[in-house]
A = this chain, B = another copy of it.
Amino acid sequence: MAKKRIIVQKYGGTSVADPGKIKHVAKRVKECKDRGYDVAVVVSALGKTTDALLNLAAEISSDPVERELDMLMSTGEQVSVALLAMALHEIGEEAISFTGAQVGIITDSSHTKARILDISTKRIKEQFAKGRIVIVAGFQGTDPDQEITTLGRGGSDVTAVALAKVLSAEVCEIYTDVKGVYTADPRTVKNARKLENISYDEMLEFASLGAQVMQARSIEVASKFNIPIHVRASFCDEQGTMICKEVKKMEDVLVRGVTVNKDEAKVTVCDVPDKPGEASRLFACLAKANINVDMIIQNVSRTRRTDISFTVHASDLKRTQEVVKEANKKIGAIDVKFDKDVAKLSVVGVGMRSHSGVAAKMFGALASEKINIDMISTSEIKISCVIRKKDAEAAVRVTHKAFGLNKKK
């Protein structure tokens, strides 16, 4: 007998927010099984459960120990898998749920941000052999000492992609509350277009730039093992966006999409003595405090002192202020400025590797709307500009139009 083909499906928290939605998900899972696949389903915690649990913890401790936080948080997904299994039984499907520990998702011991070391496929394949649908709690695992760990925000995506890898699944379907990946946020840009496909690299930029579809980590894993991902909506049957290896055709398109991130804050350290080691001292302090720095800009200095600007996640701004203030005692910069009213606008596309003129077109578009650019940063397949937060929507629209993204290529 030929081995049955396998699909891994992942449903996010909004897709399983209440019993009605869980029943709907059960139907979708059944449809996939009826098409002849063995199905492994990864589920996130119900809607706002994660936040509710975090709030409980916050009422008890302002700085809860991470091991116990994992113990607490992992219950959210366990509730979801049990309920989805019940919903599948209710429509006559054989299904069985597993926690991360039960299914053999082994991680390292970094509580609240563990990395998967290994997944055993034994139990899943045993259940497939019995004709059952397997439901796996996302976001969690155990370390080799049986300690419950969680994989951090977006961890369920990582679980799904890793499962797709070890099961040699045909595709990993990521169900979410949007129909796929768009050329821009459709709420801002009316004629934004859903992309049929996108490369891992482009998606990685999209993810880290604030298109809240998938977490960057899961895309890295998918890219590493070349696992096709299908991002699609749980509420309709429409084809979504395929994330896959870069194909020749993609290079014909200059820019794939425009994103904007309003969750960043800008920090400028003014008049830093312009000598070797000053910048590294500053960023070493930030790294030690576990603060992720995004863009960093230091321009050529005309005097003996220079300005260093960088962006951090807005939620890290308070801690950043403390750290920079402390670091400044050693560095001796003259002034530090913090700015929360910024937005980061980016255009992304593998095509720009081999084309020039993208930057010029982008800056031109912004200029035409009299939008001022504070900072610029580029990578091989991305150009980002920090602008005023109030200009964010207008900037997305004008850039989207300038690159003709509404038209199908």
Q: Which A residues contact B (CB, under 8 angstroms)? A: 19, 22-23, 53, 56-57, 59-61, 64-65, 67-69, 71-72, 74-75, 78-79, 81-83, 85-87, 89-90, 96-97, 99, 101-102, 146-148
Contacts and interface: CB of A to CB of B under 8 A. Distances in A.
Contact of A64 (B22, B56, B86, B101): B86
Contact of A79 (B22, B53, B64, B65): B53
A19 B90 CA distance: 36
Contacts of A87: 60-61
Nearest to A94: B65
B83 A72 contact: yes
Nearest to A95: B68
A143 to B, nearest CB: 12
A56 B83 contact: yes
A75 B59 CA distance: 19
Contact of A22 (B60, B97, B146): B60
Contacts of A67: 96
Contact of A71 (B53, B82, B146): B82
Contacts of A19: 56, 59-60
Contacts of A75: 75, 78-79
Contacts of A147: 102
B22 A90 contact: no
A68 B135 CA distance: 11
Contacts of A148: 99, 102
B79 A61 contact: no
B79 A72 contact: yes
12 contacts: A19-B56, A56-B79, A57-B83, A61-B87, A64-B86, A67-B96, A68-B86, A68-B89, A71-B78, A71-B81, A75-B78, A99-B148
Copy count, this protein chain: 2
A85 B101 contact: no
Give the most central of A83, A89, A99: most B CB within 10 Å: A83
Contacts of A74: 78
| A-B interface, 5 closest residue pairs, ranked by CB to CB distance from nearest | A72-B82, A19-B59, A71-B82, A75-B75, A68-B85
A19 B59 CA distance: 6
A89 B72 CA distance: 15
A184 to B, nearest CB: 38
Contacts of A72: 78-79, 82-83, 86
A69 B89 contact: no
Contacts of A56: 19, 79, 83
A310 B22 CA distance: 42
Contact of A85 (B59, B71, B146): B71
A75 B85 CA distance: 15
Nearest to A147: B102
Nearest to A137: B71
Given A56-B79, A72-B78, 7 more contacts: A19-B60, A64-B89, A65-B89, A68-B82, A68-B86, A71-B97, A74-B78
Nearest to A91: B61
A10 B67 CA distance: 22
B60 A83 contact: yes
Contacts of A69: 82, 86
